[in-house]
Amino acid sequence: MNYWWLTPAIAVVSFVLTAALRRYALARSLLDIPNDRSSHSLPTPRGGGVAIVLAFLLSLGFLCWLEGLTPATFLAAGGAGVLVAVIGFMDDHGHIAARWRLLGHFAAAAWALFWLGGLPAISFFCMSISLGWLGPVLALFYLVWMLNLYNFMDGIDGLASVEAVCVCLGACLLYGFTGHADLVGAPLLLAVSVAGFLCWNFPPARIFMGDAGSGFLGVMLGVLSLQAAWAAPQLFWGWLILLGVFVVDATFTLIRRLVRGDKVYEAHRSHAYQFASRLYGRHLPVTLAVGLINLFWLLPIAVAVACFGLDGTLGLIVAYVPLVFLAIKFHAGELETPGRGN
């Protein structure tokens, strides 16, 4: 089986589709107009994430045909991804009430889990624990949280794209190091699908991803991490570690807002990365910093867990503690006040 030729082809497809979507958005005035909750200052075309969706789904079809992906995983990822992308696309072009969006997200997650087989036994401090009926329930909420947190974290130029590329390529390395090369295809093709879009989205962005793209990426990363869990428990921990920047910032911010009694479904600018981008006056330093954290902090710990026997739970704690301090340093979840990067 040889699917390597797909990688440059899919990158080009994504790049060209993004260019076409940008022209379409400009012609139809589908622009993200800055407001008091925005992190950008100029009207910018939106909806470019559809290029990622189309490029990756096309590549998944080829990958399944070339027997680089099981039909069950193809149905799990493809079905859930299409539903989430359609909901996001409709919300990008109008408005869907939060409760209906959430219902659709749970339906997409349930579809994916049906084909994946739920959640396997997980390792916890060197013990293998089967969660029984609780496993699928936790996995359901995990997938829904993953797609929503990715939407929350798509707030400055290039951030969600750089995170996806770093996480997927990091997962490919883990698979290669641990003898699971058969799993490399999907995350590699997702990375190149995002890379084609990133050429247009890198700071300063010429088009935004939109909910269709960010939600799709979130659920795809969640599905691929669960696929890895069925292959080896330590690989699942590796995925969670690689996703640390987004998981910590989004979760820490949500908890603070819940405690304060905020309406958590309303747009806001209180994530750590948003405070940081206002503090430094540009998006580029923050986006690059996230890439460097992934490369020089999270990836080595994930490798230690996957390849050198470091307990996954301990590795996750070691990886996340400094990220929590960063979230506190940059006021994640706090109210916007003068002097805090506003």
Which pLDDT does position 35 carry in this prediction? 66
Has residue 259 been placed in a domain? no
User: Residues 6 or more apart from 329 whose CB is under 8 A from it?
Assistant: 272
pLDDT values of the chain reduced to their tens digit, one per residue, 342 residues: 577 788 999 999 999 999 999 999 999 888 877 766 656 667 889 899 999 999 999 999 999 998 889 999 999 999 999 999 999 998 877 778 888 999 999 999 999 999 999 999 888 887 778 888 899 999 999 999 999 999 999 989 999 999 999 999 999 999 999 999 999 999 999 999 999 999 999 999 999 999 999 999 999 999 999 999 999 999 999 999 999 999 999 999 999 999 988 887 777 889 999 999 999 999 999 999 999 999 999 999 999 999 999 999 999 999 999 999 999 999 999 987 654 544
DSSP, residue by residue, 33-81: ---TT-S-SS-EE--THHHHHHHHHHHHHHHHHTTSS-HHHHHHHHHHH
In a domain, 79, yes or no: yes
For residue 220, count other CB atoms closer than 10 A to its CB.
Answer: 32
Identify the CA nearest to 105 among candidates 1, 215, 22.
215
Q: What is the pTM of this model?
A: 0.94
Kindly list the distances between the CA atom of residue 133 and the CA atoms of 11, 89, 130, 140, 313, in Å, as whole numbers in the listed order.
40, 33, 9, 11, 22
Domain assignment present for 252: no
Asked if residue 249 is part of any domain, the answer here is no
| Spatial contact of 338 and 270, defined as CB atoms under 8 Å apart | no
- Distance, CA of 141 to CA of 73 (rounded, Å): 19
* In a domain? residue 323: no
Confidence (pLDDT) at 6: 87
Tell me, yes or no, whether 224 lies in a domain.
yes
Alpha carbon distance 117, 303 (integer Å)? 26
CA dist 51 and 15 (Å) reads 8
Instruction: Report how far residue 112's alpha carbon sits from residue 31's, in angstroms, rounded to the nearest whole number.
Output: 32
Distance of alpha carbon 116 from alpha carbon 111, whole angstroms: 9
Interatomic CA distance for residues 23 and 290, integer angstroms: 30
Residue 40 pLDDT:
63
Task: Judge residue 242's burial from the number of C-beta atoms within 10 Å of its C-beta, 0-12 exposed, 13-18 middle, 19 or more buried.
Answer: buried
**Degrees, nearest 5: CA angle 49-53-55:** 110
Both tokens assigned to 19: 């260019």
Q: Domain containing 70: what range?
A: 6-32+40-243
User: In angstroms, how far is CA 146 from the centroid of its own chain?
Assistant: 7
Q: What DSSP character marks residue 192?
A: H
Q: In a 3-state reduction of DSSP, which class is residue 31?
A: strand
Indicate the SS3 state at residue 128.
strand
Task: Specify if 122 maps to a domain.
Answer: yes
How many domains would you assign to the chain?
1
What pLDDT is attached to residue 151? 93
Which amino acid appears at position 306 of this protein? A
3-state helix, strand, coil split of the chain in percent (to 5) is 70, 5, 25
Identify whether the C-beta of residue 333 lies closer than 8 Å to the C-beta of residue 266.
Answer: no
**How far is it, in rounded angstroms, from Cα 252 to Cα 207?**
28
SS3 category, 32? strand
Is 190 within a domain? yes
